[in-house]
Amino acid sequence: MTYTEKIVPGAVELWTESFGDPRDPAILLVMGSMSQGALWPDAFVGRLAAAGHHVIRYDHRDTGRSGSVDFERDPYTWADVRDDIVRVMDAYGLDRADIVAHSAGGLLAQWLAVAAPELVRTLTVIGSSPLGGREGLVLMAAIMGTEGPGTGLPAPREEWLAHIRSAMTATPPSNHRELIDSLVADARALHGDLPFDEDAERAVQEKLVARSRDLSKLVNHRLAAAADMEFEPVGRLGEITAPTLVVEGTAEPVKPGHGRLIAEAIPGAELLMIEGMGHTLPPEVHAELADAILKHVR
């Protein structure tokens, strides 16, 4: 299988990698906020590439091996992060692509499908919230125990909220082991009802930390969102024309029921519920998820 790395130049460099034959139809993977492209599991990526697709994943700005900024001096918006998807497509010479996106990446992908429908051949959103639903405000209100903005989005599960509240008051990690322990605990809280392999998750987090240029820059994603909590266009999901697959786990802890709202708002969208899945992509879901995506893009 062909493998390449590519740096997308610009004011903020983007690190990318691709798998499979560049002549095959392209699947572009977009991960969520504060997350590296390497969080897409290798085995899952391999399934897509082995089925005859050119699969591309990339690190968002301020994550992993991509470039970072001094946010106070050079602030950016979530529209800039959305447009990074287009920068990656341009770097690979793609006029259109099948976009598969997770969590906040799903919001970015929905927004792209509204703003530039000609670029999105098909859309798959996993563990995401509906564009314009003010997810960030809903989550913050739930965490703080205050009244939400009345958007109609279901609140996170109480177990996940308890974990976040505890983490917010805990002493920050003082060494590498404590950092990894904290990241593993976060992953466990997101995992859902499927078996949790702590050793495998620890290896994943070690890899992600080792390949990060500067973990402190992750906070820039929060700054970009906080600078404009009203950044998402409202009431536009009905304009999406790309065939859309929405995936949610039955044990989704952060955005339970949000997938149904996306599917109801996008004409012709299909909703797939995966039993036991939470907000992560463990090996137990790779086959079902990959098969559904491959069927969808074909």
- For position 138, what pLDDT does the model report? 77
Q: Rounded to whole angstroms, how far apart are CA atoms 154 and 135?
A: 10
Residue 104 near residue 33 (C-beta atoms within 8 A) = yes
- For position 228, what pLDDT does the model report? 63
Q: Buried b / exposed e across 107-129, counting CB within 10 Å, b at 16+?
A: bbbbbbbbbeeebbbbbbbbbbb
Which residue from 77, 79, 126 is spatially nearest to 99, judged by alpha carbons? 126
Q: Rounded to whole angstroms, how far apart are CA atoms 108 and 32?
A: 9
Residue 219 is which amino acid?
V
Q: Up-side HSE of residue 93: CA atoms within 13 Å toward CB?
A: 5
- For position 250, what pLDDT does the model report? 98
- For position 12, what pLDDT does the model report? 95
CA–CA distances in Å: residue 2 to residues 31, 38, 93, 195, 271: 22, 17, 17, 33, 32
User: Which domains, ranges and CATH numbers included, belong to the chain?
Assistant: 3-133+212-297 (3.40.50.1820)
Q: Rounded to whole angstroms, how far apart are CA atoms 102 and 172?
A: 27
pTM, two decimals, is 0.95
Query: Which positions of the chain have pLDDT values less than 50?
Result: none
- For position 152, what pLDDT does the model report? 79
